[in-house]
């Protein structure tokens, strides 16, 4: 006896990829909004939301990527099916989701120790996305439009893997041996800064800023976002999203694809562009920018 009717099963099979991709978008949005709120508040509900989203985001994106690969694998030849061709364009966006937002890379310090696992995941997931891209290759504008999004996704996933590695305990020990020991002059300078504060409130505020910077180094992509390399990589990704959005809206014939798939595609493009815009605003308003 089937638990669900055949009609419901068929409906789910048709909508499965779309639903999972939208769920991945929701999880990424939660991480963007609440990812770094933990350094400002100790509310339990925020920790629970971030913890659930953090653990679910990679899994959901991986499942969606696997479903796209399954769609390609079920095809009898390498010629893209019109109803599936647009869905295959979604694969690089899932690599982008696996890279995660700038506001959170690790939920706990133990996550930084899994950098090798994330590196292996980078190789495997990028390989699956490349398989989808290669099997759906065609002499169409949509195929070439996939390339800049694919590159941006690899950059974002690579940044996450690098930050996890640079924040691991082994790398932190090396950094401490090279730079953290303070000499007498530096200790006197820090003591003078705190002493010259007009009141205790200002002194504690200064300490809070320092702790916030340390939090960013350990739990976010600050180690690379605020570097010269990070700025160059952001320029590449922003240009990719904007150019892809413009080309898709002006050149691609959307009438040959289902309206639902067109809507999901526009949502992915707009979300990616707004993600970079939001990250840029946070960068300009951050304590790092002030320093």
pLDDT value at 253 more than 50: yes
Which pLDDT value is given to residue 78? Answer: 47
Which pLDDT value is given to residue 244? Answer: 86
Which pLDDT value is given to residue 112? Answer: 87
* pLDDT (tens digit per residue) in 178-222: 557 566 776 777 777 767 766 777 777 777 888 888 888 888 888
Task: Determine, yes or no, domain membership for 200.
Answer: no
* pLDDT (tens digit per residue) in 143-183: 888 888 899 899 999 999 999 988 887 776 666 555 575 66
Which pLDDT value is given to residue 181? Answer: 58
- Beta carbons within 10 angstroms of residue 217's beta carbon: 18
Among 5-9, 134-138, 262-266, the range of highest mean pLDDT: 262-266
CA dist 149 and 89 (Å) reads 9
Nearest of 43, 58, 137, 84 to residue 265 by alpha carbon: 84
pLDDT value at 75 more than 60: no
Task: Determine, yes or no, domain membership for 184.
Answer: no
- Beta carbons within 10 angstroms of residue 274's beta carbon: 13
Q: How crowded is the C-beta side of 37, counted as CA atoms within 13 Å?
A: 17
Do 131 and 58 meet the contact criterion of CB atoms below 8 Å apart? no
Task: Determine, yes or no, domain membership for 113.
Answer: yes
Q: What is the mean pLDDT of the chain?
A: 81
CA dist 146 and 259 (Å) reads 20
The parent domain of residue 162 ranges over 6-167+209-290
* pLDDT (tens digit per residue) in 42-62: 888 998 999 999 999 999 999
pLDDT value at 263 more than 80: yes
2-6, 110-114, 150-154, 263-267 — which is least confidently predicted? 2-6
Higher pLDDT, 127 or 138: 127
DSSP 256: G
Which pLDDT value is given to residue 24? Answer: 92
Q: Which residue has the tokens 């289902």?
A: 258
Task: Determine, yes or no, domain membership for 271.
Answer: yes
Look at the chain and report how many structural domains it folds into.
Answer: 1
71-80, 163-172, 276-285 — which is least confidently predicted? 71-80
Helix axes 259-285 and 6-34, enclosed angle (nearest 10): 10
pLDDT value at 33 more than 90: no
What average pLDDT does range 242-257 have in this prediction? Answer: 84
Task: Determine, yes or no, domain membership for 175.
Answer: no
- Beta carbons within 10 angstroms of residue 84's beta carbon: 18
Task: Determine, yes or no, domain membership for 68.
Answer: yes
Which pLDDT value is given to residue 248? Answer: 87
Which pLDDT value is given to residue 76? Answer: 46
pLDDT value at 285 more than 80: no
């Amino acid at each position: 006896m089937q638990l669900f009717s055949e009609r419901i099963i068929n409906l789910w099979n048709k909508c499965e990829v779309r639903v999972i991709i939208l769920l991945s978008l929701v999880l990424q949005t939660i991480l963007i909004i609440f990812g770094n709120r933990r350094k400002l508040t100790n509310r339990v509900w925020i920790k629970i939301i971030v913890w659930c989203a953090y653990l679910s985001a990679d899994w959901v994106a991986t499942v969606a990527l696997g479903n796209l690969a399954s769609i390609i694998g079920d095809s009898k030849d390498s010629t893209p099916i019109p109803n599936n061709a647009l869905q295959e364009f979604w694969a690089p966006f899932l690599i982008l989701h696996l890279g995660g937002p700038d506001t959170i890379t690790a939920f706990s310090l133990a996550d930084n120790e899994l950098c090798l696992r994330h590196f292996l995941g980078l190789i495997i997931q990028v390989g699956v996305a490349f398989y989808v891209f290669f099997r759906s290759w065609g002499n169409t504008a949509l195929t070439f439009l996939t390339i800049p999004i694919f590159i941006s996704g690899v950059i974002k996933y690579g940044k996450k893997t690098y930050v996890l590695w640079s924040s691991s305990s082994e790398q932190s020990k090396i950094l401490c041996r090279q730079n953290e020991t303070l000499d007498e002059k530096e200790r006197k300078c820090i003591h003078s800064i705190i002493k010259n504060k007009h009141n205790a409130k200002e002194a504690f505020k200064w300490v809070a800023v320092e702790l916030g910077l340390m939090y960013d180094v350990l739990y976010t992509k600050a180690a690379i976002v605020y570097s010269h390399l990070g700025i160059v990589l952001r320029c590449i990704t922003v240009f990719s999203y904007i150019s892809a959005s413009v080309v898709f809206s002006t050149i691609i014939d959307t009438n040959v694809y289902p309206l639902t798939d067109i809507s999901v595609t526009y949502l992915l493009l707009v979300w990616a562009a707004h993600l970079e815009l939001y990250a840029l605003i946070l960068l300009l308003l951050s304590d790092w920018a002030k320093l």
